[in-house]
Amino acid sequence: MALGLNKKLLQWGLERAKNISLKWKLIIPFLFFAFAGTTSLTYIGLNSQQKLIKEEERKGLNYLYQQFLEELNQEKVQAISLAAVIAENPGVQAALAAKDRKALVNVLLHAYVQLKTKYGVSILHFHLPGAKSFLRFHAPGKFGDEMGAYRKTIIDAIDTESPVGGLERGPAGFVIRGVAPIFRYGMVVGSVEVGYAFDEAFLERLHKRWGIDLMLYKANGKESFELMCGTSKGFEKFGIGRYVSPQSIEKPVVLISPKELPERAVLLAPVKDYSGKVVALAELNADRSKIRARLQRTRNLMALVGLTAVGISFLLTYIVGLIFVWPIKRIVKEAEDIAAEKRESHIEPGAKDEIGTLTNALNALLDSLKQRRMEIERYARTLERRVRERTSDLVASEEKYRTLVENVPLIVYRVLPDGTTEFINSYLTESLGYTIEEAVRDKKFWREKIWGGIPEGDRESWDACFQEGKERRVERLVKDKAGHLLTFIDYAIPSKEPDGRVKWIDGIMMDISELKRLQERALRMEETRILGEISAHMAHEIRNPLITAGGFARRLRDSLPRDDPKHKLAQIIVEEVARLESFLKILISSIRPFDLSLADFEVNSLLRSCLEKLEGLLESKQIDVVEELDTAATTIQGDEEKLNQAFESLLKHAIVSTPKGERLYVYSARAPDRVIVILKHKLERLSADDLEKFFFPHIENDSEWRIMDLPFSKIIIHRHGGKVDLAQEQGNTLVLRIELPLKARVEPIE
């Protein structure tokens, strides 16, 4: 009986609900959905915001950890560089080879004090082969101990004969070390170590720069870490053991509001030594109390806004209901008037409310809608044809664009922020030799092969485009797949999202290698022309007066008896005129055209031959020649006789101008398409004007080697398609760099 009563009540309730006003049928659902929607959106918004904030905090801590590793790497590179520089010091090489501690101290004491006070170098340590301590500048009284068992950097530096470096533990604790082998006459006589302390001072520098707290824990066996140092004493008891251990940690662990530090965000990350072993743990600890306070304020504000929105929704829904119901009656009457007796089928009537009345009116409108539908279908068929025509036009335009991009003599590319090459045309293969598949498959291709060429690791261009969204126009050197250097103009244009983030970079690269070569050729031809004009002018001005003066000087000398004192003076005039005549011959040779007889020969053999010819002059001036001739820099194509003449003049000038007792350095090296020869020596004085007029015709003051055919030497090198560059180093040190192509590009005579 009770069940039947409930059923009747339910039926009565449904009937009442069906017959209530349309106004309340609108208000009740809208009010419910407004409340549910506002609550859901508030909850989802708060959770999403919190997740985004935590994700940004994780990214920020991971970025700081990468910066932490970068700081370690920079100190390692600096330590290696300083060690390599010290190892190249001839005084250091000689003192270590002689095992003379006093001499080492005399050579480097002042430099060590400067490195320690200005650059923070804490360790300067010399070792003998076998990793035996020889001299500690930071602890002079301690030496002779064997370190091979725990100092792998020393062993590797001596075994590989090249500088190495990294974080390594020693008697002084953890130190960022750089170790370089020291050579003497081609033999390893020991090694030198430069180190920066990895301690609280290192952390304090990062704390001041980043504004977060940092802690360092050293690995205590395989199970736990022990606190070493930190920038804050408030987190020393933070229980890191429950999260990580030396045996388990392989990558950074980020903790947002851990139990012990609810107001902090913590990153725990491994620190590996030179051998790749986890020897320490870095803790980056950032304050997030302000973030939590902002979240709470946002939560309160969103709750208030939600409640207000619900109230406003109720009011607006009520008003809309009133406005909505009233026009329905009018619409129904108009629909009945328009479509009376034209219906073929009817919609079943609904409840006896406004919707039911509107349904009856819609039955009358269906016939009119049917007619309209037929008209729309006809229009749709016409529209479909128009769409096909427009699509065909777009396809044709796209084909024209692709044809243009594929045939233009430029590298056209699109690169994504993660390094993926999304698009590149086939001119890449024609200009650099790389296939499109190689560029698209390798995400590191653009950074390493294109933007990672010269200058090394063009990080500035990458940051300017992807992080700052700036257009970038750069002239860069790029190596093709065969190793040849090409010059490109790279114009990169970032494409941005509406929020300002860079989606990708579109760009074009134009090969200007030939243009650069023509510019260099034009410059060389201009130099040759200027030398020729100077030589021709001086030869013209000197020749006639010189012939006259020489003739009268000889007649005067021959007319005087040999015992006459004036005879000696006349002889001096004759000799000086003869010297000027030789100088005139050089001027004339500089402008006289000549042909090249090309053949293959060895550059190193040519240099040694020239040095042998000048051995007497070297001994007379007590000049020591230091040769470093690369065995790979061997055979080139050129006129051996002319180049022998050019190098002999250049070497002769270097010997004559080098002060007595100094050294002359002669280097040779091989590049992919050329050979490089470098002459390096000191001069009594060297100015910018001396460099500018180095190859102008002139006479040296040395009595034996007064006349140098330097202009003709430069002309010979230029005729071979090479170039000569001058530079000044360390005061009065002159560096003469000569580049010659492997296959001579004979420059025409103009």
Assessment of whether the complete model's pTM goes beyond 0.75: no
With left for phi above 0 and alpha for psi between -120 and 50, is residue 579 left, alpha or beta?
alpha
C-alpha to C-alpha distance for 141 and 146, rounded to whole angstroms: 15
Provide the pLDDT for residue 472.
Answer: 75
Most confident of 315-319, 360-364, 454-458: 315-319
Mean confidence (pLDDT) of the chain? 77
Per-residue model confidence (pLDDT) at position 570: 73
What pLDDT sits at residue 618?
Answer: 87
Residue 383's pLDDT is 62
pLDDT at 194: 93
- Using CA atoms, how far residue 228 sits from 174, 322, 326, 743, in Å, is 10, 75, 80, 62
pLDDT of residue 331: 52
What are the pLDDT digits (tens) for 392-439? 665 565 565 566 556 667 888 888 888 788 778 877 777 778 887 887
Q: What local confidence, expressed as pLDDT, does residue 126 receive?
A: 92
468-523, pLDDT tens digit by residue?
Answer: 777 877 777 887 777 777 788 887 888 888 877 888 888 888 877 767 776 766 66
The pLDDT value given to residue 705: 42
| Contact indicator for 697, 669 with CB cutoff of 8 Å | no
Asked whether residue 341 carries a pLDDT value surpassing 80, the answer given is no
Task: From 557, 587, 591, select the one nearest 574 (Cα to Cα).
Answer: 557
Question: What mean pLDDT comes out for the span 129-138?
Answer: 88
Q: Going from the N-terminus, what domains does the chain have, and what CATH number goes with each?
A: 88-198 (3.30.450.20), 202-287 (3.30.450.40), 408-511 (3.30.450.20), 594-750 (3.30.565.10)
Residue 33 has pLDDT above 50, yes or no: yes
Query: What pLDDT digit, counting tens, does each position of 275-322 carry?
Result: 888 888 888 888 887 877 777 787 777 777 777 877 777 777 777 666
- Which amino acid does the sequence have at 356? G
Looking at residue 425, its pLDDT comes to 82
Pick the closest to residue 681 from 714, 649, 699, 657 (CA basis): 657
Q: What are phi and psi of 36, to 5 degrees?
A: -65, -45
- Say which range, 294-298, 389-393, 704-708, has the weakest mean pLDDT: 704-708
Q: Which of 262-266, 351-355, 363-367, 491-495 has the lowest mean pLDDT?
A: 351-355
What percent of the chain stands above pLDDT 90? 6
Best-predicted range by mean pLDDT (242-256, 418-432, 516-530, 609-623): 609-623
Read off the pLDDT of residues 183-224 as tens digits, 9 standing for 90 and up. 998 899 999 999 988 888 888 888 888 888 888 888 887 777
Average pLDDT for residues 542-555, to the nearest whole number?
69
**Which amino acid type is present at position 689?**
D
- CA dihedral over 206, 210, 216, 222, signed as positive or negative: negative
